[in-house]
Structure 1
Amino acid sequence: MEFLNDLLQYAYLRHALAACVLSGITCGIIGTYVVCRRMVFLAGGITHASFGGLGLAYWLGADPVLGATAFAVASALGIEWVSERGRIREDSAIGIVWSVGMAAGAFFMSLRPGYVSGDLAASLFGSIVTVTGADVRSLAVLTAVVVAGAALWLRPVMYAAFDRSFARSRGIRTRAIGWCMAVLTALAIVLSIRIMGIVLLISLVTLPVAIVNLFSRSYRTIALWAPLTAVAGNVAGLWLSYRFEVPPGAAIIFVLVLALISVKLLSLRSEKLHCRR
């Protein structure tokens, strides 16, 4: 009851709740594509590359979200371009972007006048008090775009995620899908940083999909239930963060991991019972 009362009283908590719901929907849908295409570390590379933009923005006194967005989108498009050209192995390109982004972020934040460790901790592990109404509105727009795209172009995106060669043979523009999904992934990551933090954000893209994938192999089913799973995990983690005063990102991860273990144990038990029959 105390949590519900504070929701009505404090705007920052309402913003955090709205961001949890919206980021869960967005990351669940995009995570389905990323996991099925086996590019989980792409999300990790983009996430950590965005730290460079955050550090530069803090140093220049600019909007950190804009700085992170610029770095994230540039790194996502760069990795996609490299993977198409084949001049550098994709995993190598992701590793380079990952390390350079983190190094640049740490460097610029150390140069910032009045640098405090709280800014670094909030960026790395998330902080619900930093979620603003502007963040919620931006997430709402992105969520609407992602949901509409999933509803209209689910089949071509699914084909591109599983087998790009087959998709090309069907006349599907896989290159356009790849570039669009790279940008959407970057935007989803940047706008979710304040909830999850850079270090833990990759888990929000992968864990809900992994949970649903335990009982379904259908892309459509995963794309439907992964967002719902992510939303449930986010809201539960937000409540735990509020109740026990722990970082929201860590609380959300614990909830999702516990759900993953529970579903896995239930599936194993169900398989044993089926074998006995």
Structure 2
Amino acid sequence: MIEAFLAPFRYPFMLEAIGVGTLVATACSLLSCYIVLKGWSLLGDAIAHAVLPGVVIASALGFPIAIGAFVAGIGCALGAGFIQSHSRVKEDAALGVVFTGMFAAGIVLLAFLTTEAHITHILFGNILGIEPEDFWQTLIGGGVTLLVLLLKGRDLKLFCFDPTHARSIGLNIAFLRYLFLALLSAAVVAGVQAVGVIMVVALLITPGCIGYLLSNRFGTMSAIAVVSAVSANLVGILASYHLNVSPAGAIVVALSLIFAVVLVAAPEHGLLASRRARRAAATERLRSA
């Protein structure tokens, strides 16, 4: 049984998939902590979907799709910000309008432009058969994201928690906002080429939620988010080999199951803990009455 379980590790393409997935999972899960605390979950979803027209156009012109995806992702965030600033439409609605419009435009462009991009690979990724060019683009995108988070993580954390204090100590809030948008776009670019839009959205939201339910400290929250995302990546890829299912789908299912368990059983913020706290409060009120 153990030998059958370890069989996937004999194949180079499986080891490559696990390595690429681990890099993407680490970069996206760290960003997810900032996204959850800042309340920008819809922004991550929007950018992940909005990269489609950039991917299609770049592929049709013979450019690296990472360039097109990055430009489209930044364009989505800036476009939504412009609509919010110059109209009565709120940020969440503006994001919804922009990213659905861009995603639909990408689907339409696929019918008219001759490209090497395939809608299935864009949505669900091709982590088990990633091309060398995509591999290096993913490596660069994920590596740059991790490096910038290492260098500017404290400033970005202060920007998310208390932008007023960050501004008072001399930090450039506008620069940090655009830096975060660029990092988010870079992580999406890295993830879309390897694991697709659907998994990227899950990795940008769910790990941060898991960490947030289990810890009140940002460092611990980040560590939990990374461990949960990397574990789900490993379990999902192994499950895809043994069950012959989509790797991206299996990874997201594994991550969602981890979230479901944590949501119920988290010692302080889980559903069971909240129920116990309500019962204790009710009992205390009855005693005091």
Shorter-chain TM-score tier: 0.7 to 0.9
* Residue 37 (1) aligns with residue 41 (2): no
Q: Which moved more, 1:215-224 or 1:70-79?
A: 70-79
CA contact (8 A) 1:53 1:71 kept: yes
Amino acid at match of 1:150: L
TM-score, normalised on structure 1? 0.85
Distance 1:143 1:58 in 2: 21
* Residue 183 (1) aligns with residue 169 (2): no
Q: Which moved more, 1:120-129 or 1:203-212?
A: 120-129
After superposition, the C-alpha distances for 1:132-181 in whole angstroms (9 at most, x for unaligned) are 33434333334443333333333321111123223212222211111111
Unmatched 5+ residue regions in structure 1? none
Distance 1:169 1:198 in 2: 38
Aligned pairs for 1:111-190 within 5 A: 111-113=112-114, 119-190=118-189
CA contact (8 A) 1:80 1:182 kept: no
Report the alpha carbon displacement of residue 80 of structure 1 after superposing the two structures with TM. 5.0
Amino acid at match of 1:193: V
Report the alpha carbon displacement of residue 127 of structure 1 after superposing the two structures with TM. 2.2
Task: Assess, with a 3 A threshold, how the Cα gap between structure 1 residues 150 and 201 changes in structure 2: closer, same or farther.
Answer: closer
Report the alpha carbon displacement of residue 239 of structure 1 after superposing the two structures with TM. 1.2
Distance 2:86 2:38 in 1: 17
Q: Which moved more, 1:175-184 or 1:52-61?
A: 52-61
Q: Percent identity?
A: 25
Report the alpha carbon displacement of residue 94 of structure 1 after superposing the two structures with TM. 1.1
The higher-RCO structure (CA 8 Å, 6+ apart) is 1
Per the alignment, residue 206 of structure 2 pairs with 207
Q: Which moved more, 1:156-165 or 1:179-188?
A: 156-165
Amino acid at match of 1:31: S
Task: Assess, with a 3 A threshold, how the Cα gap between structure 1 residues 120 and 3 changes in structure 2: closer, same or farther.
Answer: farther
For 1:214, what is the secondary structure of its paired residue?
helix
Task: Assess, with a 3 A threshold, how the Cα gap between structure 1 residues 271 and 107 changes in structure 2: closer, same or farther.
Answer: closer
Amino acid at match of 2:145: V
Report the alpha carbon displacement of residue 240 of structure 1 after superposing the two structures with TM. 1.3
Distance 2:16 2:82 in 1: 36
Report the alpha carbon displacement of residue 89 of structure 1 after superposing the two structures with TM. 2.9
Task: Assess, with a 3 A threshold, how the Cα gap between structure 1 residues 143 and 82 changes in structure 2: closer, same or farther.
Answer: same
After superposition, the C-alpha distances for 1:12-53 in whole angstroms (9 at most, x for unaligned) are 333311111000110011111111111111111111110111
Q: Which moved more, 1:137-146 or 1:197-206?
A: 137-146
Distance 1:141 1:223 in 2: 22
Task: Assess, with a 3 A threshold, how the Cα gap between structure 1 residues 146 and 60 changes in structure 2: closer, same or farther.
Answer: closer
CA contact (8 A) 1:126 1:193 kept: yes
CA contact (8 A) 2:139 2:190 kept: no
Unmatched 5+ residue regions in structure 2? 281-289
User: Which has the larger Rg?
Assistant: 2
Per the alignment, residue 256 of structure 1 pairs with 255
For 2:245, what is the secondary structure of its paired residue?
coil
CA contact (8 A) 2:59 2:115 kept: no
Report the alpha carbon displacement of residue 69 of structure 1 after superposing the two structures with TM. 2.4
* Residue 194 (1) aligns with residue 193 (2): yes
Distance 1:2 1:112 in 2: 44
Aligned pairs for 1:92-107 within 5 A: 92-107=93-108
Distance 2:30 2:160 in 1: 13
Amino acid at match of 2:11: Q
TM-score, normalised on structure 2? 0.82
* Residue 24 (1) aligns with residue 25 (2): yes
For 2:232, what is the secondary structure of its paired residue?
helix
Q: Which moved more, 1:50-59 or 1:94-103?
A: 50-59
Distance 1:13 1:109 in 2: 30
RMSD: 2.7
Aligned pairs for 1:224-263 within 5 A: 224-263=223-262
Task: Assess, with a 3 A threshold, how the Cα gap between structure 1 residues 113 and 150 changes in structure 2: closer, same or farther.
Answer: closer
Distance 1:144 1:197 in 2: 18
Amino acid at match of 2:75: A
After superposition, the C-alpha distances for 1:86-117 in whole angstroms (9 at most, x for unaligned) are 655322331222112111211111124489xx
